[in-house]
């Protein structure tokens, strides 16, 4: 038993005990001066090996400190808020944010079932539905191609993708319309 | 090694929290844990082991009084270390005021903080005894079986963890644990007659 405790003291000195073992050993050291003496000697040997100076602590060192502390008032500070307590709320907020983003993302996706219903291309619809009081984007693009090359590129893109599967999608039709409308 | 370090710091944090909640016994455990380190530290300044113990006790009392303001910005030991150094310096100042015989330059004390051998105000008898004890320790180390000597030297001089020593010596961690303990025990057994008869 004693040998086992001494080995634990040796490990404690080397910082090789885990939390529970170290706490139990400290409690044993608190009640057993013989064990404290062993710790002090091992510490003194370790110190002497490194510094050539042997410094053996008196056995009642900690008892003297404890005795002096008897007259000291105790501390009663408010408990610190545990960091782990705030975690559930943070995770909840994060999960809610992810859910909202997911719903928005799903709603903005094109509905593949609608593709067959509308045979007309998006370009055709865009041209038909352009408001009359707005300039025709195609004509306008030809006129000001050097000034606003972006419009030309958009129209080229729409024409190039005229026959694609997505061109018949009503969601994309509205996008095409808005794009044309915005590019003055 | 790192995980062990974290564990040790967590233990300190928990003990400090207990002290801050009115548990004085938790402070006793912190004193037991760090008493030797603090006395060694103070002795580097004072160069007198018996005075060093008194000043170290004072440092522990001061630390207890101030523990309410400890917020964990540094480790408990770093915080305690600073208190101990300040207490030692203040003691040196007051001692030098009391008697010019003991006048000590604090800057000199700081400069020699890590000096391996200190020439202080210890008595010749004590110095002689110290010399003898160190000789016995060295001799005990020399007489250890090779594996034990290697294990304790890697630990004490190289500061290696048990895991690192096990790797270096190609043996299980449990064997390293046992070898280091046996080495300490052997040195302690050689030392015991001197300590029971001597002044130390």
DSSP string, A64-97: HHHHHHTTSPPP-PPPPPPGGGGHHHHHHHHHHH
Cα three-residue angle B61-A42-B185, rounded to 5 degrees: 155
B6-26: pLDDT as tens digits: 577 789 999 999 999 999 999
CB A16 within 8 A of CB B158: no
CA atoms of A177 and B13, how far apart (whole Å):
65
A54 in contact with chain B, both atoms CB, cutoff 8 A = yes
Q: Which residue has the higher pLDDT, A4 or A108?
A: A4
Residue B73 burial (CB < 10 Å; 0-12/13-18/19+)? exposed
CA atoms of B47 and B11, how far apart (whole Å):
31
Give A19 to chain B, closest Cα distance, Å. Answer: 5
Facing A52 at nearest CB: one of B67, B116, B156: B116
CA atoms of B176 and B166, how far apart (whole Å):
6
Mean per-residue pLDDT, B142-169: 96
Report H helices in chain A: 2-13, 19-31, 33-51, 61-69, 87-108, 122-128, 137-143, 149-160, 170-182
pLDDT at A98: 83
Give B130 to chain A, closest Cα distance, Å. Answer: 6
Phi–psi pair at A53, nearest 5 degrees: -130, 120
**CB pair distance less than 8 Å for A57 and B35:** yes
Q: What single-letter DSSP state applies at residue A145? A: T
CB B125 within 8 A of CB B199: yes
For chain B, what is the mean pLDDT?
87
**CB pair distance less than 8 Å for B5 and A15:** yes
ipTM, 2 dp:
0.84
pLDDT at A154: 77
Tell me the pTM. 0.67
CA atoms of A104 and A102, how far apart (whole Å):
5
CA atoms of B47 and B113, how far apart (whole Å):
10
Interface residue of B136, B181, B194 to substitute, partner A, most A CBs within 10 Å: B181
Interface residue of A6, A9, A10 to substitute, partner B, most B CBs within 10 Å: A10
Nearest in space to A120 (alpha carbons), one of A156, A161, A167 = A167
Give B173 to chain A, closest Cα distance, Å. Answer: 11
Percent of chain B with pLDDT over 70: 83
Nearest in space to A76 (alpha carbons), one of B67, B158, B152 = B67
Cα three-residue angle A81-A84-A88, rounded to 5 degrees: 115
Please say if the pLDDT value at position A125 is more than 50.
no
Return the number of other C-beta atoms located less than 10 Å from residue A55's C-beta. Answer: 19
Q: Which of B56-70, B99-113, B119-133 has the lowest mean pLDDT?
A: B99-113
Query: Sorting pLDDT into bands at 50, 70 and 90, what band is A180?
Result: very low
CA atoms of B187 and A120, how far apart (whole Å):
96
Nearest in space to A51 (alpha carbons), one of B130, B190, B109, B179 = B130
pLDDT at B115: 46
Mean per-residue pLDDT, A95-124: 67
A148 in contact with chain B, both atoms CB, cutoff 8 A = no
From chain B, pick out residues whose CB is under 8 angstroms from the CB of A6.
181, 185
Q: Which residue has the higher pLDDT, B195 or B45?
A: B45
> What chain A residue is nearest to B29 in terms of C-alpha separation?
A26
> What chain B residue is nearest to A23 in terms of C-alpha separation?
B11
Six-digit token string for B69: 């303001």
A39 in contact with chain B, both atoms CB, cutoff 8 A = yes
**CB pair distance less than 8 Å for B61 and A68:** yes
**CB pair distance less than 8 Å for B40 and A55:** yes
CB A18 within 8 A of CB B110: no
């Amino acid at each position: 038993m004693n040998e086992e405790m001494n080995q634990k003291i040796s490990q404690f000195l080397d910082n090789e005990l885990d939390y529970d073992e170290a706490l139990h050993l400290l409690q044993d050291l608190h009640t057993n001066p013989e064990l404290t003496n062993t710790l002090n000697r091992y510490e003194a040997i370790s110190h002497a090996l490194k510094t050539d100076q042997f410094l053996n602590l008196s056995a009642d060192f900690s008892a003297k400190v404890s005795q002096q502390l008897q007259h000291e008032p105790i501390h009663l500070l408010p408990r610190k808020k545990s960091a782990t307590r705030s975690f559930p709320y943070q995770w909840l907020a994060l999960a809610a944010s992810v859910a909202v983003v997911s719903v928005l993302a799903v709603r903005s996706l094109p509905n593949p079932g609608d593709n067959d219903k509308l045979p007309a291309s998006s370009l055709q619809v865009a041209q038909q539905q352009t408001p009359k009081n707005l300039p025709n984007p195609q004509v306008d693009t030809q006129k000001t191609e050097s000034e606003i090359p972006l419009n030309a590129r958009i129209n080229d893109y729409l024409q190039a993708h005229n026959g694609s599967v997505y061109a018949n999608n009503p969601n994309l039709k509205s996008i095409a319309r808005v794009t044309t409308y915005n590019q003055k | 090694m790192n995980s062990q370090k974290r564990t040790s710091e967590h233990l300190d944090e928990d003990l400090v929290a207990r002290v801050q909640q009115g548990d004085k016994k938790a402070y006793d455990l912190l004193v037991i844990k760090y008493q030797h380190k603090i006395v060694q530290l103070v002795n580097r300044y004072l160069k007198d082991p018996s005075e060093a113990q008194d000043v170290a006790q004072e440092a522990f009392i001061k630390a207890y009084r101030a523990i309410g303001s400890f917020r964990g910005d540094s480790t408990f030991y770093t915080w305690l270390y600073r208190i101990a150094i300040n207490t030692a310096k203040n003691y040196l100042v007051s001692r030098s005021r009391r008697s010019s015989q003991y006048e000590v330059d604090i800057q000199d004390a700081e400069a020699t903080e890590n000096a391996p051998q200190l020439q202080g105000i210890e008595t010749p008898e004590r110095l002689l005894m110290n010399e003898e004890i160190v000789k016995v320790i060295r001799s005990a180390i020399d007489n250890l079986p090779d594996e034990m000597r290697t294990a304790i030297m890697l630990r004490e001089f190289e500061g290696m963890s048990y895991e690192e020593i096990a790797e270096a010596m190609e043996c299980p961690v449990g064997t390293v644990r046992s070898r280091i303990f046996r080495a300490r025990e052997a040195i302690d057994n050689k030392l015991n007659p001197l300590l029971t008869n001597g002044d130390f």
